Chains A and B, each alone.
Chain A
Amino acid sequence: MTASTAAPALAPRGSGLVAAVMSALGGLKILLPFALLTAIWWAIKIEAQLSDQILVSPAAVWNAFIQLASHGVLAEYASTSLRMIGISTVISMAVGVPIGFAVGVNRTAAHALEGFLRFLQSISGIAWLPLAIIWFGFSQTTTLVIVIYSLIVPIIFNTMVGVRAIPENYALALRSLGAGRLRLVTDVYLPGALPSIVVGLRLGMGYGWRALIAAEMLVRQGGLGDLIFGARTFNQIDRIITGMICIGCLYIIIDRLIVQPIENLTVARWGLLRK
């Protein structure tokens, strides 16, 4: 009886309701695999009777998360990592893109440096870590140097490649119309190279983020890598898994909320890259 009277009242807002239900289902669809995974994890924990030294239950991880979060520890470690990757990205872009441009516009310079940059890119930042520790000690400077190195090489390289790939006719056309060097950079080289620069940024972020976590593990001056590696010493599996989940979520946020929108924007604007 109540249902039949309620139905007409809901009808006008039916489309809104459907949309709400659909989006709730969408959220559920994302969460469902994780719920399943957690259930399997919990079942293994109980069935195999693993000790907390080997695997903790999801509830223990949740408790560790609450404990770390409420004491502000998690926020501190996470903000250290975020600050590091943020500073490194800004410096690498500010320095790497101009260098890439300077090299890219000159055919001889580009040819000369290509092999060298490839070689540098082949030596991962983390391999230089022992040397950086000798030079700068166990400090955040060491971490910063390693992460910037990991980030800047792909950025320089891809900026250079992007500039080289621009058909020379475009630049010539603008120049014959009387454009100066600056106009050439802003109207031809920058838009033309941008998709490639973003590819470099994305690759650099992939390398840089991993280098950051690894460097934090060894330098032990704060950061999420320090958190999970420090927890290893005391066999605190709950803290390790909490840290891993945080690292994953942060990287997804960085990638989805910052890097990908920039990429989509350049694709939409200049339509050179395809997804």
Chain B
Amino acid sequence: MSPGSVQRTSALIAWRLLPAVPFAIVLVAWMAFWVIFKPNRATLPPVSDVVEVVWTRALDGDLLQHILASLWRLFLGAAVGIVTGIAGGFVAGLYRRVSDFLNPLIVFFNAISGIVWLPLMIGWLGIGTALAVFLIWNTVFFIVFQNTVLGVQLVPEVYEQGIQALGGGRLETIRTVTLPGALPYILTGIRSGLGFGWRALIAAELVGAPNGIGQMIFAAADYHRSDIIIAGCLIIGCIAIAMDRWILAPIEQRTIRRWGLIIDVAKEN
């Protein structure tokens, strides 16, 4: 191997490792802070405590139970939210009158989507999965709905007319033109909706659930176990990143490649 290529590969490795640097800096600063100032363990635990708590909780299955409880709620709420959001979005997107009529309601209820419903819904649904599922549904629905409406409305009418001129019926037109055309928008909506939904779930679990990751960290606050809180926060971040990177981003990418351009509207909410 020539010295030049060695240099190039090492530069490439350095470039690959670069994103890890901020994490390493925070870790080192945290350790240094702990060594120098010796803070109260309840205020800021040493890194080793956090690692240990993840390790022991992972071993006794406790952690997995909380994570599974949270993911199950997210799955239920998101599934219902996506299905109702797409269905409603198609109806509103295809019938101008419906969307005109519903629009003020959508704007208003979107403004109070999610956690704002918690106090009212605790009374109606009690504490538990139903409450969390409702809050996630509520959050996901509006984002998916709005993106679906936009996607459906932006499909050029010429394409629809083209299919109709060739003798396609209404359903045929929706299946072959409107759905594929709106799909990139719908997927952006789902991706952004899940981001908001995951946040709503954690917030809901803080007070409105007997278990789950959110409840784990909130219960830990009562005993001033900041090691559990920090561990929980890191796990929350890892799960969200993993979901986005390995499930949602690939699906979205594939759709973009298949059907073309995507415009960033998801962040409109």
Contacts and interface: CB of A to CB of B under 8 A. Distances in A.
A229 B123 CA distance: 11
Interface residues of B, number: 61
Interface in A35-51: 37
B140 to A, nearest CB: 14
B230 A252 contact: no
B192 to A, nearest CB: 9
A188 interface: no
Interface of A is mostly: helix
9 contacts: A112-B18, A123-B234, A124-B236, A127-B214, A134-B224, A202-B269, A214-B115, A217-B207, A237-B120
Interface residues of A, number: 61
Interface of B is mostly: helix
Nearest to A215: B203
A232 B233 contact: no
Given A108-B18, A111-B18, A134-B224, A241 B101 contact: no
A129 B224 CA distance: 13
A218 interface: yes
Interface in B95-149: 100-102, 104-105, 107-109, 111-112, 114-120, 122-124
Given A199-B264, A203-B267, A131 B226 contact: yes
B237 interface: yes
B15 interface: yes
Interface stretch (B2-10, B19-27, B53-61, B181-189): B19-27
B48 interface: no
Contacts of A29: 100-101, 104
B182 to A, nearest CB: 16
Contacts of A108: 18
Interface of A: 29-34, 37, 53-54, 108, 111-116, 118-120, 122-124, 126-131, 133-135, 199, 202-203, 206-207, 210-211, 213-214, 217-218, 228-229, 231-232, 235, 237, 240-241, 243-245, 247-249, 251-252, 255, 273-274
Contact of A244 (B117, B195, B234, B244): B117
B18 A247 contact: no
